Structure 1
């Protein structure tokens, strides 16, 4: 494509193109004279072929035809017997006709090829422009979506302050506002072009750090362990919402004093992926059955798990432990884990 770019530059400058063509012919003629005593008979066109082909490719069809015409006349006059004459016998006529046919076919092929390459380049440029425009519009849509969610979250916060005397209403508004904030953050992260090549482990760590810092829990130690390198964007979105919800629940029930440890492990187990989230809080109450709980957080988690065709389990082990198992479709695994 770089050579084609140089060729296009020459074709747009007819003076330079024809001048270069004449120079190529003169060089071919000089070389042919220099080799005249070395070459055996029967090679009158040897040095003219590359001059014609290169001129046709780089300078265009017109200059290529000019060099071809000059080459035919030069070979006919100086290198085809009878020498220094344009007279032809039967054998010489066949040689000239052969040269004309070959050069014409070569120039035609080059013309068709360069025209096709030019159209391909134009089509690629149009496609790139459309893709860039689509990408810009898509990013703007995602930005507006995230802003709208943040705006709704702000409205919920305003309504929460108005119902300050009703604890249940305040809690509901706080939960809704927190979840919208989390969704807005996740949305921005997922569709931020700078995060497109971010490894899953780093992405989840930064997401958790963002959620915990946003909740005022800067002293919580976060750990993420996984050999999974990539997930498709739809499942990553759902997984991000689950991780964010688990971190939010830990903030409410495990890190009330502002400090603690929170970890995420994601590994492959046969045909499934297993996500294990742990905190070092008091854990679940004895006899607690999440499936019978009326807490919104557990209902939200269950809904997200169903979106992944997954299952959830909860138990206590020096803190709350949540285990999510879901199918491992279209998963990228780092080489270190293979």
Structure 2
């Protein structure tokens, strides 16, 4: 309702299809005010000739502009002078009439000028608001185009790495290049899905669900159950989303690779919550075969775990890998919600 009122005020003064329509409305308004003044005549003490006519001038100026307002002031002034200022039913002139009319002219002139200045300021504000809206639309368009190009470039680099991987004979090098290509493609996909031009946070539950299911499809493990548990009202800052999503991807990929062999089925549970102390806590747990015997959590031999450590440091938090209560493994990331 408030927005509708703002849009109506921004359209003032009204532009009717024909100019005479405005003057006809003003004349009708003056006639109504004259009728009301006639009805009130027996109830009023002597004087008050302009009592009902000031609203007619103000409304006319407010709705139709300066010229219709002046027209209303002229009609109302003449009606007051002829019918309600002694000697009545005449345009007699004396000192009392001159004083009354001077007072009337001064008041309606101030009313019309104030309304005119207000509407000019309102018009300029509406023009500036429309200009800002167009600038914001252009900014959003350019932002999306930039994001699209950056994401496409990352996809191209990932594709080039995959092509070069085919020419590498060393199996270890091929694996490293394949992982690098996959991570670049993942970063491009996350970047395209995440950022907004206003740099506000986004609901992350849907993103983690999409990300985990894409990883399951890429790994050919759609037989693994995936559960994402994130509060619906939880939002994360834009510059936190990519590191958080990448850590989640590393943890889920690690669970697919090491927790479940080709014949073993199970479940992966992804949970993200915010504590009262302002810490975000990510938990990626599985019921797979668990950590190998003699696993040292401080020895990061895996490239993926080292990457997760670096990303956790960027977030100002800590990444850990421990046994889970279900017998599998649990990846934990704790970091402050606002850095």
After TM superposition, the score normalised by the length of structure 1 is 0.88
Which residue of the partner structure matches residue 190 of structure 2?
186
Which residue of the partner structure matches residue 266 of structure 1?
272
Question: Matches of 1:91 and 1:14 in 2, distance apart?
Answer: 37
Question: Matches of 1:4 and 1:171 in 2, distance apart?
Answer: 66
SS in 1 for 2:319: strand
Match of 1:212 among 202, 212, 216: 216
How much has 1:34 moved relative to structure 2?
4.2
What is the CA RMSD across the aligned residues, in angstroms? 2.3
- Deviation digits for residues 257-285 of structure 1 (CA, Å, limit 9, x no counterpart): 27431112223343422211112222222
Instruction: Give structure 2 stretches of 5+ with no counterpart.
Output: 1-5
Q: How many residues align?
A: 327
* Equivalent runs, 1:1-338 vs 2, <5 Å: 1-10=6-15, 14-163=19-168, 165-191=169-195, 199-227=203-231, 229-257=234-262, 259-269=265-275, 270-317=277-324, 318-329=327-338
Is the CA contact 2:12–2:119 (under 8 Å) kept in the aligned structure 1? no
Which residue of the partner structure matches residue 333 of structure 1?
none
Q: Name whichever of 74-83 and 247-256 sits farther off.
A: 247-256
How much has 1:115 moved relative to structure 2?
0.8
After TM superposition, the score normalised by the length of structure 2 is 0.88
How much has 1:197 moved relative to structure 2?
8.6
How much has 1:202 moved relative to structure 2?
3.0
Q: Quickly say closer, same or farther: Cα 1:293–1:197, change in 2 above 3 A.
A: closer
Q: Quickly say closer, same or farther: Cα 1:284–1:13, change in 2 above 3 A.
A: farther
SS in 2 for 1:263: strand
Is the CA contact 1:221–1:261 (under 8 Å) kept in the aligned structure 2? yes
Question: Matches of 1:125 and 1:34 in 2, distance apart?
Answer: 47
Q: Quickly say closer, same or farther: Cα 1:123–1:301, change in 2 above 3 A.
A: same
Q: Quickly say closer, same or farther: Cα 1:273–1:114, change in 2 above 3 A.
A: same
Instruction: Give structure 1 stretches of 5+ with no counterpart.
Output: 331-338
Question: Matches of 2:69 and 2:10 in 1, distance apart?
Answer: 18
Is the CA contact 1:60–1:111 (under 8 Å) kept in the aligned structure 2? yes
Q: Name whichever of 127-136 and 245-254 sits farther off.
A: 245-254
